Amino acid sequence: MELDVQHALKIADIQRRLLAFEAEPGTGETILADAAELLDANAAMAAWLNEGTPLLVTWNAGSQIEEYFFRTFAGVDRDGNIRSTDPDLDNINLTRRQMGSGVYHESAFARRAVIENAAFHRDAFRPAGMNHVVGMTTRLAVGEAVFAMGYSSADAPALVSGRAEIILNLFLPAFVHSFEALDRQARNFERLQRAIVESDMNVTLQDDQLGGDNATGAFLNLPLPGPDAGYLSISPPDAATLAARLAESFGLTKRQTDTAQCLLDGLSTKEAAARMGISPNTVRRHCEAVLTRTGVSRRSELNRLARSLTAARP
């Protein structure tokens, strides 16, 4: 197959945009539309996951494919396969994901007679203008990313000449690279969010550039990967958190817990008495009880003990 300069430039432009792809429907639609026109397709569709949310966009096709997909969606199995209540579509999806990244004609997954008699073809793909399909796919941790071109007849020039598969193979490396990167980013973000929830540290995600109140109280600010990604700000656990951990571990009473918080906040006996609304002598008795129960002799030791208990929390 020979490509003129105009087509070569269009291919290079789509490759560049795939490499810079962001998992948003609008971005996917424009790339899908330009690729479909370059491949002389009658219709096209794209599907992928954006941080666990299925996205599906179409070009020059009706709503049948999207409606059918969500109507027959049956969840995700333990191996990360997206399942369908339509057994024929389910089998094709399983086969395609197991085959992994590549450019495939529909004949790689099922005989034409099976496809034509299947409900997904009759109710969705054929009325949407995708009677014959060729596309590229890459396996993700859950599901896959797919860009598929549809043709009304099997003798469409791009199909017969193999031009559609050749050009899709030129797109494939950029396509795989971008979606694998997005998949890793999404899974890392999910793990980060989970770690934040489970942490005793005061951890926040800052959307914008570090400055002003963003840095208040933080002893560590880590830039997140990517331009303008923001910062991960980490601050020590506050005295209330540490006191609660001491109370849980050593069975402190409510008054003893309040006293421990005052000690961890560095308050003097007089300041603690003012905060708690009791006399300094009563504060001293509570302090002695806290130190006795926790087995330490000084405030500095209490602070270290509280932090070690927090750090050891699963």
pLDDT value, residue 216? 47
**What topology is assigned to 239-311 in CATH?**
Arc Repressor Mutant, subunit A (1.10.10)
pLDDT value, residue 229? 62
What's the pLDDT tens digit per position in 154-207?
999 999 999 999 999 999 999 999 999 888 877 776 666 666 666 656 666 666
**Matching fold, domains 5-188 and 239-311:** no
Mean pLDDT of the chain: 85
Specify the CATH architecture of the domain 5-188. 2-Layer Sandwich (3.30)
What's the pLDDT tens digit per position in 47-77?
987 766 778 889 998 889 988 988 898 888 8
What average pLDDT score do residues 86-94 get?
95
Taking the C-alpha atoms of residue 17 and residue 27, their distance in angstroms, rounded to an integer, is 9
Domain boundaries, the chain: 5-188, 199-235, 239-311
What average pLDDT score do residues 293-298 get?
90
Taking the C-alpha atoms of residue 109 and residue 134, their distance in angstroms, rounded to an integer, is 11
Whether 213 shows a pLDDT value over 50: the answer reads no
pLDDT value, residue 210? 44
